Amino acid sequence: MSVTLQIPTALRSFTDRQTEITVEGRTAGEAILALAQRYPDIRTHLFEADGKLRAFINVYLNGKNIRHTGGLDAPLHDGAALTLVPAIAGGSENPSDSLIAPSRLAPLSENDLKRYSRHLILPEVGIEGQQRLKAAKVLIVGTGGLGAPLALYLAAAGVGVLGLVDFDKVEASNLQRQIIHSTRDIDRPKTASARDRVLGINPDIKVITHNTRLTSENALEILGQYDIVADGTDNFPTRYLVNDACALLGIPAVYGSIFQFEGQASVFYAKKGPCYRCLYPAPPPPGLVPSCGEGGVLGVLPGVIGSIQANEVIKLIVGGGSSLIGRLLLFDAWRMTFRELSLEKEPDCPLCGQHPSLRKLVDYEQFCGLSQTQEEAPVEEITATELKARLDKGDLIQLIDVREPHESVVFKFKDAKAIPFGQLVRRMDEFNPKNDTVFICKVGQRSIYAIRALRNAGYAGRMLNLKDGSNAWAEQVDTHLPRY
C-alpha cells in the first residue's frame, strides 16, 4: 500500500525538511517503520527500545488516533494519510454548564452596559453572560506570545479578575510577537508591563500579578484562586505542571502551543474529557523540540492561537457553544489550514484515568528529563574566550555548528562544519575522535543534547559545549556579529 506520512515541523529536521513522505506499508506500524528506515535518525524519537511507539508521539488516521483503532497494527488502504502529532503543546451546549454559578452573578453598571453593548445584543451572551464574565476569575500562565492576546481580549471582554503569572523581563526580541509589551517596557517585569496594558484597555477589572516562577510548591495555591487557567507556557515542565494542578483542583486548562508556523489548541478538563497526559503521556526527549528562541516563530501565530484560547475561555464562562474539550485543533499558518482531531480520555491515564496513581504534583524538570541524573556524566563546557584563545594558539579543534540552515543565514560560524541536530548521529563518522570537538548552537542548549546523543551512540572522542552558544561568541569575541 502506498501511504503518505504528514511530518510536523518538530520532526522535519530528521527528514531533510520534507513535509509529506510517501512510503509502502500495510499497517500504520509498517509505514512508520519504513519512514524510520529511510531516515534512521528519527527512529529513536519515534520508537522505544522495545519497538513501541513513544508516548509523546500520536498518530492519526482519518482524524482518529490509532491508539484506539488498532495501534501500530491499524490497517491502511492505498492512498491513506497518516498524520504524526508530537507534543510541541464534546463541548457544552447549555448555558447552565457555565463554570460560574448563578449565585456569583455580578451586577452590571451603567458603564458596563455601554462598554459591553456588542456582547449584550448577542443572544448567546446577553446580560447574564456578561454578568458571568464579570464574576469570573481567570489565570493566564505566561505573558508572552500566547499570553498577550489572551490578556488583551479577556480584559476587553470584561473578565472580572485576571491573574498574570510570569517571572521574565521584557526583551527586545519579545516585541516581534508579544504585543502586550512595548519598546519602553524593555527590562521591566513582564507582569508589570502586561498589567499596565490590560488596565489601559479596561480599568474596571482587577488584575493580580504573580511575578514568580510557577513550581510544584506554589502551583496549587496560585491556581486554586481561579475558575479557569489559560496555558500560555513555552516549555514542557510548566505545561505538565499546569495540566496536573488543574486536574487535581478540578478546573479546566485552556491549552495552546506554537512552534515556527504551527499551533495547537484544546481544552483539557479532566471532569469532562481528557487531560494533556491523555494526549501526551510523556514529553519528547530534551532537544527534540527547540523553544521559540531557538526554533523561531512567525510573529502573528501566537496571536491566532492565543485568540482561539481566549474564545474558549469566554465560552466556558458564558456557557453554551461547542468547546474544544475532547478535540485538538491544529493550525498551519504557512499553509493557512486548520485540522481537527478527536481526543479521548485514556483509561490508564495516571492522572485522570480509571485508577489514577498521580495524586500530587511531582518534580517536572526531572519528569521532562531536564534534571541531570546521577548516572549521567556532565557535559564539558568551553567559554567563548577560551575557545578563541585555543584557536589562536592553533590547537586542532573541530567546530560543529548544530543550528538549522536558516539560522546560519543570520551569520555563519567561521571554520565550523554545519551539521543540523537531526543529522548528527548518522554523520558522526565525519568527526575525528583524535581531536577535540566543540559543538555550537544559538544559546548552548541544543549542543548539550547533541553531545549526549553522540555519547549514547558510542562516539568516543572528547566533546565540548560552547557555553551560551553563538550569542556568547557575538557578545564576547566578535561584537560585529548579531545576537538573535
Which positions are annotated as active-site residues? 292, 441
Q: Do 37 and 113 touch, CB atoms closer than 8 A? A: no
Exposed/middle/buried for 65, CB within 10 Å: 0-12, 13-18, 19+?
A: buried
Q: Which three cell numbers stand for residue 229?
A: 487557567
For 356, phi then psi, to 5°, come to -65, 135
Q: Do 107 and 132 touch, CB atoms closer than 8 A? A: no
Q: Which three cell numbers stand for residue 231?
A: 496555558
Question: Cα(27)–Cα(61) distance, rounded to whole angstroms?
Answer: 11
Exposed/middle/buried for 483, CB within 10 Å: 0-12, 13-18, 19+?
A: middle
Question: Cα(240)–Cα(235) distance, rounded to whole angstroms?
Answer: 9
Query: β-strands 137-141, 228-231: how paired?
Result: parallel
Name residues whose C-beta falls within 8 Å of residue 275's C-beta, 6 or more positions apart in sequence: 243, 246, 247, 253, 268, 269, 345, 349, 351, 352
Q: How many CB atoms lie within 10 A of CB 125?
A: 24
The label of the residue with cell 485576571 reads 162
Q: Which three cell numbers stand for residue 475?
A: 557578545
β-pair partners for 255: 231, 266
What type of residue is 329? L
Supply the DSSP symbol for 47. Answer: B
Question: Cα(80)–Cα(25) distance, rounded to whole angstroms?
Answer: 10
What type of residue is 300? V
Q: Do 397 and 435 touch, CB atoms closer than 8 A? A: yes
Distances (CA, A) of 471 to 288, 398, 411, 440, 468: 21, 19, 11, 10, 6
